[in-house]
Amino acid sequence: MTPGVESLVQKGRRSLDAAGRLLRDGDHDFAASRAYYAMLYHAEALLLSGGFEADSHAGVIALLHREFVRTGKLDHAQAAALERAWKERGQADDEAGTEFTEARARQSVERAEAFLRAAEVLLPS
C-alpha cells in the first residue's frame, strides 16, 4: 500500500471511530457527517490505488462507479450507500432544522462500517 493510500485509510478509520464516539455522545448529525467522511476517504483510497484522483466529492462518486462498480469490483449497493451518505452529510452540515435521530445516525455509522470493510478487501496489502 502506498503512503498516500495508507494515509487515506487511516483517516477513514479515524473518522469512523469519531462517528462512533459522536453517536454515543448524542451528537447524531455530526456522527452522520463523520460516517460519510470515513466512506469518502476509503473511496479516495480505492481510486488512488488504481491511479485515479478526483477534484470533488461528486467526482469521487462518479469515478468510483466507473472504475469499481461498472467493472464488478465493488457492489452497487456500496456505491449507493456512499451517495446516500453524501446527501445525509449535506443535510447534517448545511440544512438547519434537519433532525438526525439516534436510529438514523446509527444507520449511517453501520453503512460506513460496511463500506470500509468492502473497500479494504479491494485495497492492496
Identify the pLDDT of residue 95: 73
Q: What is the pLDDT of residues 51-102, one digit of tens each?
A: 999 999 999 999 999 999 999 999 999 999 999 999 999 988 877 777 889 9
CATH code of residue 11? 1.20.120.330
Whole-prediction pTM: 0.95
Q: Which helix (H) or strand (E) holds 3?
A: helix 3-24
Q: Are 43 and 82 in contact (CB under 8 A)?
A: yes
Q: Which three cell numbers stand for residue 103?
A: 436510529
pLDDT at residue 4 is higher than 80:
yes
Q: Which three cell numbers stand for residue 60?
A: 469521487
Number of domains in the chain: 1
Amino acid making up residue 71: T
Identify the pLDDT of residue 17: 99
Residues spanned by the domain of 18:
3-122
pLDDT at residue 111 is higher than 80:
yes
| Confidence bin at 14 (pLDDT 50/70/90) | very high
Q: Write down the residue that cell numbers 479516495 correspond to.
A: 44
